Copies of this chain bind each other. A is one copy, B any other.
């Protein structure tokens, strides 16, 4: 299932750059096949397109130097973090050099009084939270994988608690980036807000390495809440669950997480995690606040759920029970895989206005059934964002084709509802064909104009985001 096309390679330039980089970086420059393949796309059904070499950078100055070498030889450059992206973001369709940022893993500065910090791109979110814990602070964005903060910034990642804390767009104050000519810029000051010129911070967030290489990120932090509680509630139908979610949002309950699991996921969890949940849609919640505030949120949710046929609602504040509840959410991926042993799970990612969420989930379920596919759904319901995980026998070409048809249908369904073909995974290679459908040719042309202006030789992660 190749969703990728090779692009023309500048063989002569690549050859020259390989020589220069080897001489300059020695053992920190690698061209072995295994390392190169690890630095291509590995997480989904998109083909692996390895770079020609991998350099392990240790400083902004080095990234700038590598960029200048590659610019001189007109060789593509692809930034690499943990490699957990899902749409082929780290592939090298025109070859070139992967810059592995994971040795740039320092927390450079924490300003507790301002609730911000400055990190290198190779710091992972878990490493940052471990670092911050003693100071009573945390960084809320959790995309699931223990991704690097550089990669999360580049893909505009979010995850379960974006409903309360926003996405990377909302939590990055400023970035330092190396531009296509090797120039190092910083996009903004450390002020919490500014009207000083174009919002280059937000332009870099979500640009997937195609406009610049992110070498530092200044992040907003949060105080660890005094109290956290978790809850779960079953609903007769997806519609009932979604009505409850809308009421919660409209009522202004500041839920930290509100996750939807469809009946098929619940069934999978019952089997995998030995649970005894009603095999109907389930909402999993987390509340952050003061003791009294958390209790009030839980009570308000209970009342709203009750109006929509919610059953088996229970809230818990003990860490142990809370972990048990969220373990189910974390187990969901493995539980789903166990539905069809030996299959691969290919995960979709659409986001619609919340009022259309029930229709979108229902439409996805119906289409999967029509196509004879098993595609359980989990969703960040408070944002209208959900993922269907299609369980595919990758050796069955006909089934793979049906899965591709499902993905296509789902993206177009979301777009038809004034939603997006990607709530948080990004465009990469896999979703390029939907960008014009979603935003129109004129809008995509503006993106192309910006790309060509900032990267005239198309060296920064070519073949991503913009349609060919």
Residues of A within 8 A of B (CB): 111-116, 155-158, 162, 166-167, 169-170, 179, 183-200, 202-203, 205-207, 211, 222-223, 225-226, 246, 249-252, 254, 289-290, 292-293, 296, 300, 351-355, 383-385, 414-415, 418-427, 431, 434-435, 438-440, 442-447, 449-454, 465-466
Contact = CB atoms under 8 A, between A and B. Distances in A.
A188 B422 CA distance: 12
A450 to B, nearest CB: 6
Contacts of A195: 155-157, 206, 420, 422-427
B384 A191 contact: yes
11 contacts: A113-B246, A114-B384, A156-B194, A167-B193, A183-B445, A186-B443, A187-B439, A189-B418, A191-B420, A198-B465, A293-B293
Given A193-B423, A197-B435, 17 more contacts: A114-B246, A157-B195, A158-B193, A185-B439, A185-B440, A185-B442, A189-B418, A191-B384, A191-B385, A192-B385, A193-B383, A194-B422, A195-B425, A199-B206, A203-B450, A223-B250, A293-B293
A274 B387 CA distance: 60
A265 B114 CA distance: 26
A197 B444 contact: yes
A415 to B, nearest CB: 7
Copies in the complex: 2
A61 to B, nearest CB: 14
Contacts of A186: 439-440, 443
A213 to B, nearest CB: 14
A423 B194 contact: yes
A116 B202 contact: no
Given A187-B443, A296-B293, A453-B452, A420 B252 contact: no
B415 A200 contact: no
B111 A197 contact: no
A296 to B, nearest CB: 6
Contacts of A352: 191
A319 to B, nearest CB: 19
A63 B249 CA distance: 36
Contact of A296 (B190, B192, B252, B290): B290
A280 B391 CA distance: 67
Nearest to A414: B191
B355 A447 contact: no
Given A185-B440, A292-B296, A385-B193, A198 B447 contact: yes
A33 B371 CA distance: 69
Most B CB contacts (10 A, CB to CB) among A249, A354, A384, A446 go to: A446
Most B CB contacts (10 A, CB to CB) among A157, A193, A195 go to: A195
A431 B450 CA distance: 25
Nearest to A355: B113
The 10 closest A-B pairs by CB, nearest first: A202-B202, A453-B453, A113-B355, A194-B420, A191-B351, A190-B418, A114-B353, A185-B443, A185-B442, A195-B426
Contacts of A111: 353, 355
A420 B197 CA distance: 11
Contacts of A170: 166, 170
Contacts of A439: 185-189, 196-197
A173 B354 CA distance: 14
A447 B116 contact: no
